[in-house]
Amino acid sequence: MTGAAPVNFALTNRLPRRWLTQMVGRLSKIENPWVARASIATWRFFADVDLSDATERNYRSMHACFTRSLRPGSRPADPDPAVWCSPSDGIVGACGAIDSDMVLQAKGHPYPLSELIGGSSDWLHGGHYVTLRLTSGMYHRFHAPHDAVVEQVRYFPGDCWNVNAPALDRVDRLYCRNERAVLRLTAGPDAQPMLLVPVAAILVAGIRLHFLDTPTLLRERGSAPVACNARLAKGEEMGWFEHGSTIIVLVPKGFTLAPGVATGTKLRAGQALFQRVDG
């Protein structure tokens, strides 16, 4: 790691992360037009923020801009029934086949799936995974990858390490340490099982689901599994991050990466992520 990376890592991870996250969270929710305009302008100066497809133009707070909704039709889901869509906008990080319990968070940095999901990963062996990193300026809501039923949610309290490249190169098992939710779904016409794992990060530490009271769940239930029966149409909104972070998508045997999906690929919600393999 050279150049500005050590400085970036120090500024975003050596400071008191939880305190900084809480402070920024409070400041971002101040509903004052002067504060909102100044904070959004500062954010847009440092980040690539595209508001062209947002439903609003004026926001009461920076938080409202972070968690913005989009105009209908802005993220159409691929209609092919053999395609499982990207749940969010994002840049593909590590991706590939799941040959054992270990997968990559970055080159040379494996982590155990069983620790990430809080249980055995045997049923995923022979499948595939994709890590989608949301930058701070991206659209922060996530959507159903196919017609699906969310059957279980486990919400793991944790740390709030940054999830950028310098941190992924230096912090072992980062995704296993951060606050995260593990959503178990059955999707598609043959009810294939899959997992979505939204991972929170510094200045974020907030994952919200439309079909569960996630703040209460985290406060009262900890990491105990919660049974659900949330039925979602392909492309339907599932929840959002309070800022930007990461979603890890895990599918069992019978899928392959969609054409063009590789490390560094920039995707939008609704674009092809996996394809069912015939036979």
Q: Is residue 174 situated within a structural domain?
A: yes
Phi and psi at 21, nearest 5°, equal -60, -45
* Residue 76 covered by a domain: no
CB 233 within 8 A of CB 267: no
Q: Which residues pair with 276 in a beta bridge?
A: 255
Q: Say yes or no: 139 and 254 in one domain.
A: yes
If one counts the domains in the chain, the total is 2
Exposure b/e, 8-46, CB count within 10 A at least 16 = b: bbeebbeeebeeebeebbeebeeeeeeebeebbeebeee
CB 149 within 8 A of CB 186: yes
Q: Cα-flanking dihedrals φ and ψ of residue 252, to 5°? A: -80, -175
Which residues form the domain of 48? 5-66
Domain-embedded: residue 73: no
Same domain, 55 and 98: no
Task: Note whether residue 158 is domain-resident.
Answer: yes
Q: Is residue 72 one of the residues assigned to a domain?
A: no
Residue ending a domain, choose from 15, 37, 66: 66
* Side chain identity, residue 88: S
Mean pLDDT score across all residues of the chain: 84
Same domain, residue pair 158 and 61: no
One domain for residues 11 and 132: no
Q: State the amino acid at position 23 in one-letter form.
A: M
- For the annotated catalytic residues, the residue numbers are 89, 143, 245
Lowest mean pLDDT among 32-46, 183-197, 244-258: 32-46
Residues 93 and 188 in one domain: yes
* Model confidence pLDDT, tens digit, residues 203-256: 444 788 889 877 676 666 667 889 999 999 999 999 988 765 899 999 999 999
The pLDDT confidence band at residue 194, using thresholds 50, 70 and 90, is: very high
Residue 112, in any domain of the structure: yes
pLDDT digits over 58-82, tens only? 888 877 888 899 999 999 999 999 9
Task: Determine whether 216 is exposed, middle or buried from the number of CB atoms within 10 Å of its CB (0-12, 13-18, 19+).
Answer: exposed
| High-pLDDT (> 70) share of the chain, % | 83
Is 150 within the bounds of a domain? yes
Whether residues 181 and 214 share a domain: the answer is yes
Same domain, 40 and 119: no
Q: Note whether 109 and 157 are same-domain residues.
A: yes
Same domain? 38 vs 132: no
What distance in Å separates the CA atoms of residue 223 and residue 220, rounded to the nearest whole number? 9
Same domain, 29 and 155: no
Question: Is 215 among the domain residues?
Answer: yes
Same structural domain for residues 123 and 236?
yes
Q: Are residues 202 and 235 in the same domain?
A: yes
